[in-house]
Structure 1
Amino acid sequence: MLRALLALWMMFACTGFARAETVVFTDVNVVPMDCERAIPRTTVIVTDGKIASIGIKAKLPAGTPVIDGKGAWLVPGLADMHNHVTQRDDLALLLANGVTTMLNMGEATNAFAGRTRIAVNKGDVPGPQIFTALAVDGNPQYGHLVIDTPADARAIVGIARANGYSFIKVYTNLSAGAFAALADEAKRQGVGVVGHNVAAVGLAKQLAAGQAMVAHVEEFFTGFFPAPPAADQQAPPADARIADAIALVKTHGTFVTSDLFTYRVIAAQFGKPDVVKAYLAAPEARYLASADRIDWARSSYQKKAVDLSRRVQFEARFVKAMADADVPLVAGGDAPTIPGLVPGFALHREIDAMLSAGLTPWQALSAATRTPGEFIARTVPGAAKFGVIAPGYRADLLLVARNPLVEPATLRSPLGVMANGRWFDAAALKAMLDEVAAKRVVP
């Protein structure tokens, strides 16, 4: 895999340029995302993969690469804080869509979690900065690593840390004892706990024990809100209970992953094989790996009819209320394991879903830039700062034609992407997509 990634990097370097000690952006409007503002027509200097200055014109050595923004808009690169990407071509899809940070939320291969992650994060090969979570559960039903006892739980934290995982992802069937031991040991060793509602514990106790992030908004259905009536199992909670959920997460400073589009896509395909066929025929599906196409076609969602429409509508109101209450939301695409979700493209769909739920462009863009940076800063000791354009932050940047705080759709069409100080112009981004599409021929 590493050899192939290096070959891919050489191809990209032909249309962009490799990392230079210093790169200068001139005549750019900067949306720094430290607060809701823009800095007009200024200069940004990047040195050694980090932002060195904004608005300062310095005398630079001859031959310093200069990117003339021509009045375009420079924003932080996007962060996909919930995906299941493990293939090199999917890294290209993320980068071509402006994603410069990702969190794999479970089932990464050993090679990806180790060798590939290290190579990408060092800047030896192209891709978004990679963080990984090791998924654990109490039984093998969902294919996750099984831990039965508190002793197992304590041991797995050290194993995860030794293998470069920044997080442990807890799943539904853990025992209460295993969760308690895991949360305690993770806190001691500086490994973040993220994930689902653990049925034997419940979100209130999980967050009190230090779980840093809830991986899906719908975990509140089973982990916090009262159970629906037996006669209507898909009834949404009462809107009056939203305030209680917000109070819980704010008490503990917990981050919540907005996955409105994911849940909407799942709801649309329950019991409807034709919907899955439509997903497979969509233009974005030409970038899908053949194994993922097969998995989509075999998905269990289409085999049972369930009406989640009222819960989809409730989630939109819930996420809007959380955003307005300053709950720290992070955006996640959850691709490619769920039919309808293609890496990179899915994150833009999530931003669209947040906007359609009533979030402002600032709120939605924060969930894909600034807030993920705050999440990593709080949970991963020693991690480089990102998510804001400011001196000392990682040079992960997205150049777009228009102001995304006014026209967020501009994020879908990058004029260029800088990842870890390496610049990929529009031609390089197109080459990435074309290369993936050429290899993933639709049958």
Structure 2
Amino acid sequence: MKRVKRVSWIAFGLLQVVLLTLLAAILLEQRSLSYLKTAEHPAWQQRDYLIKNVQIVPMTSDAVVTDQRVLVREGQIAAIAPDLEAPGIPVIDGEQGYLMPGMTDMHVHVWDAQELGLYLANGITSVRNLWGQPMHLRLKESIRQGELLAPDFYTSGPKLTGPDYAGDDNLQLVSVAQAREKVASYKARGYDFIKTYNGLTPELFEAILEECRMQELDIAAHPSAALPYAAHLRDEIVSVEHTEDIVQQALNYQLDTAGLDRVVADYASFPSAAHCPTLVVYYNIYRLLTEARILEAPELNFMNPLIRMVDSEAQYQRWAGAARGDSLLAGKILAQHRFHLLAVRKLQEAGVNLVAGTDAGIGITPAGVSMHQELAFYREAGLSAFEALQTATVNPAKTHDFLANTGTVEVGKKANLVLVEGNPLKDPNTLRKPLGVWVGGRHISREQLEGFTDRARNRKNLLPSVLRYGEYLLRER
């Protein structure tokens, strides 16, 4: 009996140590986020500004409007003119820099608040999270309440898949009734839209679409191989994700230009459809196969530590193993990437609404900086600098209602703005180092943006990240 009691007390003591360690890790992470908390920075309560001496890149046309002033009132653009005055409010001298709308990354995976700072540091003022978890509802509420400085944040619910598509990251639906219930519950809990994923059968897919119509929820669709690719071009679906799935599903892994033309024609015949390419995340497979010591690359220091330890390593091992069985694999991946560029060019030429997304937050694709790589691929595909920049500004505003008040510099639009040194229509690299960012009218200086980047490098929040993912598995699976 004494031995049993001793073992029980030891177990109880160990449990206390574990709980205290977890609590300490959570408290330390919260303390480390003070640099993003508006309560710690009284200046971020200010949402009225006069911005003077700027050249405006409005994104309403391929042009620059010189020598302007912009008045921001309560987080919105109130006036634009060369001679505005607004006594009593702070004045920001743009010093002849270029003022443009903040960018939107339409496909991200957020794992912690530090990533939100990285998006701001790269001129991204709205993000669309494509794998919803309970932590994202809390983040969203903190941002909505003005407690946390971050891009406008919108999130899908958990990924909806079919009964045969396994994986702890997927919610496998087994009945039409369950599909309807999940959609309704995600709306009630505060998720902004639905993400459909691979493995959905026609019956489950139709049930989700019908329930989304009833709940007035948009859908972002990762194509399901159990459906014809063109079946994803529906009124309820505001964007179809991943150019790679045009090859892998619509074209059955063939780099078939005639087949691509048919897919492009399907998109063009459905004007409300948008396509989100996510080229950079696929190209990073090629990097995994060809760059020595890729897991030690400096940009991976900005990945969430749990993702870096688990997903980055798993993807490296997966593709390294595949390459051992196919010495030509790297060349095949590169050839498919180049076909993606052709697809993007053809979609653009056909007038399809292309929206920039990066799939940042998984594999070896870090938050923020990956947007510049994505836009560079669009220019390589043949888009002009203006057309490429449209995919991250005005084009996303055409998809969801919650993005409609962004994407251009116009009176009445939300003051999500980026100030850069050079003309981004001539030198897109100027976007990599904003001089300042406004999100909802709150101004963030270049020095603060650099601090966001520094604080996100090699962050020590592994245990809190594990706990958040564990919560997702317990709550949603």
Q: Does TM, scored on the shorter chain, surpass 0.5?
A: yes
Report the CA distance between 1:41 and its aligned residue.
Answer: 1.1
Report the CA distance between 1:20 and its aligned residue.
Answer: 1.8
| Aligned counterparts, 1:296-375, within 5 A | 296-299=312-315, 300-305=318-323, 306=329, 307-339=332-364, 341-375=365-399
Aligned to 1:414: 434
Aligned to 1:47: 73
The DSSP-based 3-state class of the residue aligned with 1:370 is: coil
CA–CA distance in 2 between the matches of 1:246 and 1:357?
Answer: 15
Q: CA RMSD in A?
A: 2.3
CA–CA distance in 2 between the matches of 1:257 and 1:145?
Answer: 22
Conservation of the 8 A alpha-carbon contact between 1:12 and 1:428: no
Report the CA distance between 1:59 and its aligned residue.
Answer: 4.1
CA–CA distance in 1 between the matches of 2:149 and 2:174?
Answer: 39
The DSSP-based 3-state class of the residue aligned with 2:438 is: strand
Q: Number of residues paired by the alignment?
A: 421
Report the CA distance between 1:51 and its aligned residue.
Answer: 0.9
Conservation of the 8 A alpha-carbon contact between 1:197 and 1:222: no
CA–CA distance in 1 between the matches of 2:206 and 2:387?
Answer: 34
Is 1:133 the counterpart of 2:133? The answer is no
Q: Which runs of 5+ in 2 are unaligned?
A: 1-25, 324-328, 463-477
CA–CA distance in 2 between the matches of 1:384 and 1:12?
Answer: 29
CA–CA distance in 2 between the matches of 1:364 and 1:80?
Answer: 13
CA–CA distance in 2 between the matches of 1:153 and 1:282?
Answer: 41
Report the CA distance between 1:214 and its aligned residue.
Answer: 0.8
Report the CA distance between 1:75 and its aligned residue.
Answer: 0.7
Report the CA distance between 1:324 and its aligned residue.
Answer: 2.1
Superposed CA offset, 1:184-215 (max 9, x none): 11122111111221122222122146322111
Superposed CA offset, 1:336-361 (max 9, x none): 2122x110011111011111222110
One-letter code aligned to 1:284? E
Aligned to 1:256: 275
One-letter code aligned to 1:364? A
Report the CA distance between 1:283 and its aligned residue.
Answer: 2.3
The DSSP-based 3-state class of the residue aligned with 2:233 is: helix
| Aligned counterparts, 1:43-442, within 5 A | 43-55=69-81, 57-62=83-88, 64-106=89-131, 108-112=132-136, 114-134=137-157, 135-139=159-163, 141-142=166-167, 143-208=169-234, 210-225=236-251, 227=252, 234-237=253-256, 239-252=257-270, 253-269=272-288, 272=289, 275=291, 277-278=293-294, 280-295=295-310, 296-299=312-315, 300-305=318-323, 306=329, 307-339=332-364, 341-377=365-401, 380=402, 385-437=405-457, 439-440=459-460
One-letter code aligned to 2:285? I
Larger radius of gyration: 2
- Relative to structure 2, which stretch is displaced further, 1-10 or 405-414? 1-10
Superposed CA offset, 1:110-149 (max 9, x none): 022x121122134321111111112110145232112111
Q: TM-score scaled to structure 2, two decimals?
A: 0.83
The DSSP-based 3-state class of the residue aligned with 2:269 is: helix
Conservation of the 8 A alpha-carbon contact between 1:148 and 1:175: no
CA–CA distance in 1 between the matches of 2:292 and 2:141?
Answer: 35
- Relative to structure 2, which stretch is displaced further, 433-442 or 78-87? 433-442
Q: TM-score scaled to structure 1, two decimals?
A: 0.89
The DSSP-based 3-state class of the residue aligned with 2:72 is: strand
The DSSP-based 3-state class of the residue aligned with 2:242 is: coil
Identity %: 28
Report the CA distance between 1:440 and its aligned residue.
Answer: 4.8
CA–CA distance in 1 between the matches of 2:216 and 2:291?
Answer: 43
Structure in which a larger fraction of residues adopt helix: 2
Is 1:8 the counterpart of 2:23? The answer is no
Conservation of the 8 A alpha-carbon contact between 2:51 and 2:92: yes
The DSSP-based 3-state class of the residue aligned with 1:40 is: strand
Aligned to 1:231: none
Alpha carbons of 1:213 and 1:325: their partners in 2 closer, same or farther (altered >3 Å)? same
CA–CA distance in 2 between the matches of 1:220 and 1:322?
Answer: 12
The DSSP-based 3-state class of the residue aligned with 2:319 is: helix
The DSSP-based 3-state class of the residue aligned with 2:389 is: helix
CA–CA distance in 1 between the matches of 2:184 and 2:82?
Answer: 45
- Relative to structure 2, which stretch is displaced further, 148-157 or 417-426? 148-157
CA–CA distance in 2 between the matches of 1:12 and 1:244?
Answer: 54
Conservation of the 8 A alpha-carbon contact between 1:17 and 1:424: no
CA–CA distance in 2 between the matches of 1:24 and 1:290?
Answer: 40
Alpha carbons of 1:7 and 1:419: their partners in 2 closer, same or farther (altered >3 Å)? same
Alpha carbons of 1:100 and 1:12: their partners in 2 closer, same or farther (altered >3 Å)? farther
The DSSP-based 3-state class of the residue aligned with 1:79 is: strand
Q: Which runs of 5+ in 1 are unaligned?
A: 228-233
Conservation of the 8 A alpha-carbon contact between 2:166 and 2:172: no
Aligned to 2:45: 19
Conservation of the 8 A alpha-carbon contact between 2:33 and 2:113: no
Aligned to 1:230: none
Report the CA distance between 1:288 and its aligned residue.
Answer: 2.3
Superposed CA offset, 1:85-108 (max 9, x none): 1301111111111111001111x3
Alpha carbons of 1:204 and 1:276: their partners in 2 closer, same or farther (altered >3 Å)? farther
CA–CA distance in 1 between the matches of 2:129 and 2:319?
Answer: 22
CA–CA distance in 2 between the matches of 1:5 and 1:86?
Answer: 15
Alpha carbons of 1:374 and 1:122: their partners in 2 closer, same or farther (altered >3 Å)? farther
Conservation of the 8 A alpha-carbon contact between 1:286 and 1:440: no
Report the CA distance between 1:58 and its aligned residue.
Answer: 4.2
Superposed CA offset, 1:347-401 (max 9, x none): 1110111112221101110011111111123xx5xx6611111111111111000
